[in-house]
Structure 1
Amino acid sequence: MSLNASASLYPRLLGDVGGTHARFAWGEDAGGAVADIVSYKCAEQASLQEAIARYLAEQGKPRPRACAIGIANPIVGDTVRMTNHHWSFSIAQLKQSLGVQRLAVLNDFTALALSLPALRPSQLRQIGGGSAVAGEAMAVLGAGTGLGVAGLLPVGSAGGAGSAGSASQGGSGNYAPISGEGGHASLAAIDEQEAAVVNCLRQRFGHASAERALSGPGLLNLYQAAAQLAGRPAPLTSPQALIAAAREQRDPDCLAALDLFFRFLGSFAGNLALTYGARGGVYVGGGVVPRLLPELAASRFRERFEAKGRFANYLAAVPTFVIDAAVSPALIGASRALDAAALG
């Protein structure tokens, strides 16, 4: 397709669907900004189709010509069944019911990765490291209802790897997103305390994945493990209550949970930086970490990020950023996925 074909895919409906919230937005034309952003609680909607219908009705929107949905789930076929929510649907049937020319359904962190070249400095909070190297790979992770992971690799003129129809235009060249389910990789311990915590998680869940620690529910898991190891009860039942108690310095197990969270987060982010060669930066999104910026800055996150033996100096130069944006950048990434498909 041509650039004109891409421009014809307007107006467009954009979605960023996680395990807790579904955010929708509208793109009226190629030159306009993402607008009319609304967030719904997934638990209040019977299905994705119902949530979309509600959005279009409440916003008084016509039938879109195109739609792109970033969703917290691997996309491996026509049927999508969410890992951390009960929604499921057929991509083909959704396209037919919406009556759109093009429908793109992609992992939500793939969408977030596609947005990285478009992020403004005001939407980022740097936590350590040097400057991002233009045209180099980037990595993104984020703790929310689950743990999302993706990469953005340079192709063509940016990285010399040849052209790719799925590449997104960035400020310094073309990039292709790399999808994956890295949040379900095994959680690694660095010291004896962390090993004891991982063992608690393994006994409880069978497999101690990174997501069991690095997510909203994961914070609670760490709190419960810390209390178990200390021989104390764990009465708190929400991440919000845990964070409040830690900030008030009134619960040692809540403080231990936050400390463990940032240590595990730093180790995991450092692993991603090495895996992707992410000299363009490692970006942290999701709903949990942007709410904990003061605690993150004072934590051992960067110490653990760089603690990779012979590659400590390599990682010391890699910047880490927290994505702190009022508008979900994944909505912009979803729109870029439609443009990339049209140009392919």
Structure 2
Amino acid sequence: MAKSWHLLADIGGTNARFALGDVSTGQISDLLTVSVADHPTFSSALQLYLSKIESSGDWDQRPIDGCLAVACPTDRDVVTFTNSDWVIDRKDLAFSLDIPNLQVINDFEAIGYAAARFSEDDWEQLGGGQSRPDKVIGVLGPGTGLGVCGVLPKKSQVIVMPGEGGHVDFAPVGDEEIEIIRLLLTRYRRVSAERVLSGAGLQNIYWALSQMHGAEQRHATPADISAAALAADDPVAVEALEVFCRVLGSVAGNLALTYGALGGVYIAGGIVPRILDFVRQSDFRERFLAKGRFRDYLNDIPTRVVTRENPGLFGALQSLQSRH
């Protein structure tokens, strides 16, 4: 007999991940990851996934509901992505899928729902003490962009406070970062945190440092810069990743202060888990704490790197389950 299922999606600027949640067991399965660049529209990627599920013969033809976690603001009926050309018309989509209950939430809102339900197997702690139950959790994640949200976990429900905190102003610390922002202002009218704390942000840091040192830019992509830094075969790449980690610490500390995140700060996204050893040995935690008179306030707040596979899909399922 075909089984009932929830449609789940986690859609970033680079990749879109689809999966289903088994209504009876709560398990996530049938994952499909597609490149956004390979599909001109969201609908074509979705139809590919629906055809895959239908052909399996294991599941009902249509899901009972769905949650799409998307890397852009979701306050309008027509959702336009920040870092791709995809567009989602939620009303048309709900009608075409025959799913009256179709949620479209920010991708970091989904991470927020996930963070409230994480176990100790889902993260690795980089400093601090124990999280405080029922206190606000801060979440940020550098990837294609920079996602930010706050979470207030309660026993009966989870309140997620999504926002666009990745687009706050970048606040440089020290002469090197001041020179970096000065150079970036020759390329951009305004330098946000995302301009330095994302994949493109790592490229921006590497470019600026190359200008400062009069060095050749030997690497073109964020992955190549990170690989060169981890292999220690390009001093400018190493320095760029060190700056990236310091800025990550500063922004995470700012987030902790803004939300009063005594429940901890979780770092998700596609970049940091891949460079975890580098982050651990960097000045990340010191910069998290370097807030003057509020160092002691931050000292016990744990900073945790999310290591769970596909936390956005897990969070999308938690969002659906929290509203039933």
Other structure's SS at 1:64 match = coil
* 2:183 maps to 1:200: yes
Contact 2:116–2:151 under 8 Å retained in 1: no
TM-score, with length taken from structure 1: 0.89
Q: 1: CA distance between counterparts of 2:263 and 2:91?
A: 36
Where does residue 102 of structure 1 map in the other structure? 101
Q: 1: CA distance between counterparts of 2:213 and 2:260?
A: 39
The CA deviation string for residues 86-105 of structure 1, in whole angstroms up to 9 with x for no partner, is 10121101111111131000
Q: 2: CA distance between counterparts of 1:179 and 1:246?
A: 33
Within 5 Å, give how 1:299-314 maps onto structure 2: 299-314=282-297
Q: 1: CA distance between counterparts of 2:142 and 2:136?
A: 21
Deviation at 1:30, TM superposition (A): 4.4
Contact 1:135–1:173 under 8 Å retained in 2: no
Other structure's SS at 2:296 match = helix
Q: 2: CA distance between counterparts of 1:195 and 1:104?
A: 42
Amino acid at match of 1:71: V
Contact 1:67–1:103 under 8 Å retained in 2: yes
Q: Which of 155, 177, 198 is the matching residue for 2:160?
A: 177
Other structure's SS at 1:118 match = coil
* 2:39 maps to 1:45: yes
Q: 1: CA distance between counterparts of 2:32 and 2:113?
A: 21
Where does residue 124 of structure 2 map in the other structure? 125
Q: 1: CA distance between counterparts of 2:68 and 2:264?
A: 25
After TM superposition, the structure 1 stretch with the greater mean CA deviation from structure 2, 237-246 or 184-193, is 237-246
Deviation at 1:140, TM superposition (A): 0.5
Q: 2: CA distance between counterparts of 1:338 and 1:249?
A: 44
Q: 2: CA distance between counterparts of 1:329 and 1:254?
A: 29
Flag structure 1 segments of 5+ consecutive residues without an equivalent: 1-9, 159-171
Q: Which of 238, 243, 248 is the matching residue for 1:255?
A: 238
Q: 1: CA distance between counterparts of 2:24 and 2:295?
A: 43
Other structure's SS at 1:205 match = coil
Deviation at 1:32, TM superposition (A): 2.6
RMSD: 1.4
Q: 1: CA distance between counterparts of 2:176 and 2:134?
A: 39
Where does residue 335 of structure 1 map in the other structure? 317
Contact 1:71–1:108 under 8 Å retained in 2: yes
Q: 1: CA distance between counterparts of 2:305 and 2:94?
A: 34
Amino acid at match of 1:182: G
Q: 2: CA distance between counterparts of 1:112 and 1:224?
A: 31
Other structure's SS at 2:138 match = strand
* 2:187 maps to 1:188: no
Q: 2: CA distance between counterparts of 1:102 and 1:36?
A: 21
Q: 1: CA distance between counterparts of 2:194 and 2:270?
A: 14
Deviation at 1:305, TM superposition (A): 0.1
Deviation at 1:337, TM superposition (A): 2.1
Q: 2: CA distance between counterparts of 1:244 and 1:336?
A: 34
Where does residue 165 of structure 1 map in the other structure? none
Q: 2: CA distance between counterparts of 1:248 and 1:290?
A: 17
Where does residue 285 of structure 1 map in the other structure? 268
CA distance change for structure 1 residues 178 and 59 in 2, over 3 Å: closer, same or farther?
A: same
The CA deviation string for residues 217-276 of structure 1, in whole angstroms up to 9 with x for no partner, is 111111001001112221311112112211222212101100110010000000000111
Contact 2:15–2:33 under 8 Å retained in 1: yes
Amino acid at match of 1:292: I
Deviation at 1:173, TM superposition (A): 4.9
CA distance change for structure 1 residues 330 and 248 in 2, over 3 Å: closer, same or farther?
A: closer
Q: Which of 3, 27, 33 is the matching residue for 1:33?
A: 27
Where does residue 307 of structure 2 map in the other structure? 324
Q: Which of 15, 30, 37 is the matching residue for 2:9?
A: 15
The CA deviation string for residues 11-37 of structure 1, in whole angstroms up to 9 with x for no partner, is 210000000110111112143311111
Contact 2:253–2:289 under 8 Å retained in 1: yes
Contact 1:153–1:175 under 8 Å retained in 2: yes
Q: 1: CA distance between counterparts of 2:41 and 2:65?
A: 19
Amino acid at match of 2:284: F
Q: 2: CA distance between counterparts of 1:48 and 1:246?
A: 35
How many residues are aligned here? 317
Deviation at 1:289, TM superposition (A): 0.3
Flag structure 2 segments of 5+ consecutive residues without an equivalent: none
Deviation at 1:123, TM superposition (A): 1.4
Contact 2:158–2:322 under 8 Å retained in 1: no
Where does residue 24 of structure 1 map in the other structure? 18
Percentage of identical aligned residues? 41
Q: 1: CA distance between counterparts of 2:129 and 2:184?
A: 35
Where does residue 229 of structure 1 map in the other structure? 212
TM-score, with length taken from structure 2: 0.94
Amino acid at match of 1:22: A
Q: 2: CA distance between counterparts of 1:237 and 1:252?
A: 15
Where does residue 211 of structure 1 map in the other structure? 194
Q: 2: CA distance between counterparts of 1:152 and 1:217?
A: 27
